[in-house]
């Protein structure tokens, strides 16, 4: 029996946890459940700014899952965001440490050429890491936008996106469109240089992103999705296939 691949998963930070009032590592169990069901073993990434240790964590694992969570600091990609728009940004409890840590992890993952699956915030962070910008608040900045921040319907399919024929996501899920949940208020403005949008909703929001052909040979697997497939795996096989495809790539 082949060794199950080890999947490094990025956690968030919560203001207080189960023990006392200390800052706590926070990770929705559904990410681990999805990886376990796909045949991988989840490993939580260390909460450290030590780049040598982060590099070693990537080296010892077979792939990295970048998860959802807090807003990314707009100062990392846009210096002139209006104050009115900045008020929509959720303040993080760790003073931007997660942003810095994940930017370092992305750099290391590309250096070591490990498979990547990036969800919601992780999808956005990939873009920021390569100099791309984000829409800080969809409702304020995208005229005629669909209602994307539907947290109360996190387990429902609320809209669809058109898939690029021949893309990785289209091959995994099949069909020309994919329905999805939507619990975000930020999004990718346009893909940074290495990436291309492979799923776009009717209002132009980038719902999935992959590497351009010229870059894809440098990485064994990369898929970024704006939606949350870990909350849909019980609904339909195609969302389970996303994790299955990723874990399979990590095991090769």
User: pLDDT for 189-208, tens place per residue?
Assistant: 999 999 999 999 999 999 99
Contact 23, 94 (CB under 8 A): yes
Annotated catalytic residue, options 120, 159, 173, 210? 120
What is the reported pLDDT for 215?
86
Please say if 236 is a catalytic residue.
Answer: no
pLDDT for 90? 86
Give a yes or no: residue 194 inside a domain.
no
Mean pLDDT of 172-188: 95
In a domain, 138, yes or no: no
pLDDT tens-digit map of 6-37:
999 999 988 866 667 778 888 999 999 999 99
Packing angle, helices 97-112 and 121-129, rounded to 10: 70
Share above pLDDT 70 across residues of the chain, in percent, rounded to a whole number: 98
The whole-angstrom separation of Cα 67 and Cα 35 is: 12
Contact 199, 161 (CB under 8 A): yes
d(CA 190, CA 81): 17
Which one of the listed residues 173, 210, 230, 250 is annotated catalytic? 230
CB 69 within 8 A of CB 151: no
How far apart CA 242 and CA 252 sit, in angstroms, is 16
Domain count for the chain, please give it: 1
Q: Contact, 97 vs 35, CB < 8 A? A: no
DSSP reduced 3-state for 30: helix
CATH number at residue 52: 3.40.50.880
Residue partners of 47: CB distance under 8 A and separation at least 6: 11, 13, 25, 97, 101
Distance CA 21, CA 38 (A): 35
What is the rounded CA–CA span in Å between residue 173 and residue 165? 11
Answer yes or no: is 167 within a domain.
Answer: no
Q: Decide if 228 is catalytic.
A: yes
- The boundaries of the domain holding residue 54 are 6-132+208-251
**Tokens (6 digits) for 42:** 């989840």
Residue 111 domain flag: yes
**200 in a domain, yes or no?**
no
Structure confidence at residue 249 as a pLDDT band (50, 70, 90): very high
Maximum CA extent, the chain: 56
From the list 108, 207, 228, 250, the catalytic residue is: 228
Average pLDDT value for residue range 213-225: 92
Q: Are 249 and 173 in contact (CB under 8 A)?
A: no
Q: Can you tell me the mean pLDDT for 209-215?
A: 93
Asked, for residue 181, whether it belongs to a domain, the answer is no
Is residue 195, in this structure, part of any structural domain at all? no
């Amino acid at each position: 029996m082949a060794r199950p691949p080890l999947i490094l998963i990025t956690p968030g930070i919560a203001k207080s946890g189960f023990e006392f009032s200390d800052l706590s590592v926070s990770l929705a169990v559904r990410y681990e459940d999805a990886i376990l069901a796909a045949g991988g073993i989840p490993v939580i990434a260390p909460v450290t700014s030590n780049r040598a240790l982060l590099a070693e964590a990537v080296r010892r694992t077979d792939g990295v899952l970048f998860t959802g969570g807090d807003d990314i600091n707009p100062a990392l990609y846009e210096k002139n965001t209006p104050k009115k728009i900045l008020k929509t940004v959720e303040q993080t409890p760790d003073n931007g440490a997660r942003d810095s840590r994940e930017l370092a992890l992305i750099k290391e993952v590309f250096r070591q050429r490990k498979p990547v699956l990036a969800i919601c915030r992780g999808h956005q962070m990939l873009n920021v890491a390569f100099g791309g910008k984000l829409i800080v608040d969809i409702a304020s900045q995208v005229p005629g936008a669909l209602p994307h921040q539907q947290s109360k319907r996190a387990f429902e399919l609320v809209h669809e996106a058109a898939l690029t024929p021949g893309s990785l996501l289209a091959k995994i899920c099949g069909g020309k469109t994919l329905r999805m949940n939507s619990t975000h208020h930020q999004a990718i403005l346009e893909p940074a240089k290495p990436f291309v949008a492979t799923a776009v909703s009717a209002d132009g929001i980038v719902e999935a992103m992959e590497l351009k052909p010229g870059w894809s040979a440098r990485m064994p697997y990369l898929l970024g999705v704006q939606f949350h497939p870990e909350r849909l795996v019980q609904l339909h096989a195609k969302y389970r296939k996303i994790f299955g495809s990723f874990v399979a790539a990590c095991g090769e």
